[in-house]
A and B are shown apart, each in its own frame.
Chain A
């Protein structure tokens, strides 16, 4: 009987899937017609050895495009349903539906494929809701980790960070009392938020003009494309009717269809020639782009505080024994909440012998009703170099004369340290006082919120093999492929250390199980983790707890059901993805463009 029910369920689900896929296809065609333009045909860039690009990459990129267009059509419908937008009073406020209006505009922009050089990549293309707004393609997460951009197949250098709760990160500051950096967005915290006072908004200004992402050569291109968008009236209603009173030159579309970094541009970062007044207007529009997207990300479409843990804090959910045990480990033996702050355990207690002054023990009372599970800081966890990262292979010029990574495997990802030096492949550091802290910051990456680390499409309800599971990539370089591996890494990095690179663990050992290759940046590896003394079962319990941080428990997570790809199944979470490990080639010394920029790394990075 159960088998019959299962078959019936599967048939129903298959019919539903077929219906949705057809709907998406129709939606996709409609969007193309609406745009009135096809994507430009440009020669491919494929510097990769066989096996680096996953074989289903083209189909998967198309699959994500269909999903993105569907959600864009959803956003258009939400816009149409907004009602009148009316400013009232002084200061002027959009009364009643102001929140909804700005967030809808942000959503429209976030899912707009026209905001890319080849009109084929939206912000969401690398950040889909069913992955917690991280990478949506399992095979990419399993292999190249960095996502292909608009000009295929240039690719970035790191995994796409989750949007969730990113607007809550404060403006990057060096806290002299703490002696550490806090805040910013991006893995290397380079989106400081210094002008807009929002690192998240600042962040959203990066990918559109990143040579390996959306690929525009000039921020004015985003404004130009917005001026052609179907939702332009909404932008003008919110940000001003004269927002697009800009005299774009006749060659603007041609320039904006040419990928950034193209030799034709030389060192010109503003190839769209605007008058000073129009450039100012364009810059202001780009700020409004950023603010609108950030407000969307702050809203309940992205950051809703709707997890089991939130229900637990509100006394509306009781953690299961394993979840509770995992939580106790998270804030106890495993010490996870030293960085991933859980909003508890901070209440002061009396001096000994009654208490443990000056530092409190958990009183069971929530110190925060919306803990973010991050300290907003950064740390070098000691991850090995991931030789599958697509960035390492982009060493030859593309058809436009641009070479994404002339350093090849001489590149080392120093994260925050390289940003503080205004070094290779990052942004300029806007605060010269910080340069002195670069050596101590080498290899540090942002402490992400632990919220939604386990979020997957409901039809692939876990990140963990044997599943059915949705393959994600964890940490900045995607080296870790399951939460079990993630916790095991924290637990045993220093129990099974070997002086090898990935793919070269000694015979008789298994990489990620009882062999951890050496860190990419060894000098500054954090000592909080590495030998936690957790048992195998305790590791599993922490994974159980991490899964309680997935939004969508108290209210469904918007658009998380829209995944139209495949789940994976089989194997073990301990060795998940190990069949795709490749031997790291002999590494040349760290390139001078990275490790030779003063103040030099101390001690030197090999």
Chain B
């Protein structure tokens, strides 16, 4: 262990009770639902490994419930997208756009998958926007595909 313990001094202090503050917790009402939601970037592959695949896309902020789900319908046949993955995200009311990221586990290696994306409120109401069919191919065992261009995340020293 490369740590050394320091003994530092202490001092006791007594403080008067201060005036109380007001009470009460409030939840914000949902933001206004956008009249039309538009995909502004993607969808695209963020990462694919033999463990985890993430599809991401950006939309105009859909508003409505703070909690949304990104939904990916996918399959190996572009005419039969028979599987669904969904991942929750939380909207930021102060942001004009929203990034959806959906995690998919357990895909087969070196396999081409076709998919569409959409989003919905946590209660199930669709945001009304759906992408066309896209595709990606998973890497081989032990390999990894990172989004191109890679996100600006330098490897920590």
Q: List residues of A whose CB falls within 8 A of some B CB.
A: 10, 12-17, 20, 23, 70, 74, 78, 99-100, 103, 167-170, 175-180, 182-183, 298-301, 303-305, 331-332, 335, 337-339, 341, 344-346, 356-362, 370, 372, 375-377, 379, 457, 459-460, 465, 467-468, 488, 491-492, 494-495, 497-499, 513-514, 518, 522, 524-528, 530-536, 555-556, 558-559, 561-564, 566-571, 574, 579
Contact: B20 with A299, CB < 8 Å?
A: yes
* A564 vs chain B, min Cβ distance (A): 6
Q: Chain B contact residues: over half helix, strand or loop, or mixed? A: loop
* B65 vs chain A, min Cβ distance (A): 5
Question: Counting CB contacts under 8 A, is B128 at the interface?
Answer: no
**A568 to B8 CA separation, bound complex (whole angstroms):** 10
Contact: B19 with A528, CB < 8 Å?
A: no
Which residue in A179, A346, A524 is a CB contact (below 8 Å) of B124?
A179
Contact: A569 with B67, CB < 8 Å?
A: no
Contact: B123 with A533, CB < 8 Å?
A: no
Number of A-B contacts (CB under 8 A): 249
Contact: A359 with B95, CB < 8 Å?
A: yes
Contact: B65 with A179, CB < 8 Å?
A: yes
For residues 28 through 82 of chain B, which have their beta carbon under 8 Å from a beta carbon of chain A? 28-34, 46-47, 49-52, 54, 56, 61, 63, 65-67, 70
Contact: B12 with A20, CB < 8 Å?
A: yes
Residue of B nearest to A332 (CB): B95
Q: Which residues of A contact B52 (CB under 8 A)?
A: 494, 497, 499
Q: Which residues of A contact B122 (CB under 8 A)?
A: 178-180
Contact sample, A vs B, 13 pairs, CB 8 Å cutoff: A14-B9, A168-B25, A358-B63, A359-B34, A488-B156, A492-B153, A494-B52, A497-B51, A518-B51, A522-B105, A531-B54, A534-B153, A558-B13
* B59 vs chain A, min Cβ distance (A): 12
**A25 to B144 CA separation, bound complex (whole angstroms):** 59
Stretch in contact with the other chain, from B85-93, B108-116, B131-139: B85-93
Q: Chain A contact residues: over half helix, strand or loop, or mixed? A: loop
Contact: A567 with B8, CB < 8 Å?
A: yes
Contact: B151 with A12, CB < 8 Å?
A: no
Q: Which residues of B contact A23 (CB under 8 A)?
A: 12
**A193 to B154 CA separation, bound complex (whole angstroms):** 45
Q: Which residues of B contact A571 (CB under 8 A)?
A: 2-3
Q: List residues of B whose CB falls within 8 A of some A CB.
A: 1-15, 17-34, 46-47, 49-52, 54, 56, 61, 63, 65-67, 70, 87-96, 100-103, 105, 121-124, 146, 151-157
Residue of A nearest to B5 (CB): A566
Q: Which residues of B contact A559 (CB under 8 A)?
A: 13, 15
* A542 vs chain B, min Cβ distance (A): 14
Contact: A167 with B23, CB < 8 Å?
A: yes
Contact: A376 with B90, CB < 8 Å?
A: no
**A566 to B2 CA separation, bound complex (whole angstroms):** 16
A-B pairs, 4 with minimum CB distance: A13-B9, A345-B94, A179-B122, A179-B123
Contact: B101 with A360, CB < 8 Å?
A: no
Which residue in B10, B31, B46, B66 is a CB contact (below 8 Å) of A561?
B10
Contact: B93 with A345, CB < 8 Å?
A: yes
Apart from the given pairs A491-B153, A562-B12, A567-B6, 9 other A-B contacts in the complex at a CB distance below 8 Å: A13-B8, A23-B12, A298-B23, A300-B20, A332-B95, A346-B28, A361-B94, A522-B103, A561-B12
Contact: B4 with A179, CB < 8 Å?
A: no
Q: Which residues of B contact A344 (CB under 8 A)?
A: 94
Contact: B10 with A20, CB < 8 Å?
A: yes
**A488 to B156 CA separation, bound complex (whole angstroms):** 9
* B18 vs chain A, min Cβ distance (A): 4
Using known A-B contacts A167-B23, A169-B25, A534-B153, determine if residue A103 contacts B96 with beta carbons closer than 8 Å: no
**A597 to B92 CA separation, bound complex (whole angstroms):** 34
Q: Which residues of B contact A570 (CB under 8 A)?
A: 2-4
Contact: B15 with A177, CB < 8 Å?
A: no
Q: Which residues of B contact A563 (CB under 8 A)?
A: 10
Which residue in B6, B28, B67 is a CB contact (below 8 Å) of A568?
B6
Q: Which residues of A contact B28 (CB under 8 A)?
A: 341, 346
Contact: A339 with B90, CB < 8 Å?
A: yes
* A65 vs chain B, min Cβ distance (A): 16
**A305 to B2 CA separation, bound complex (whole angstroms):** 37
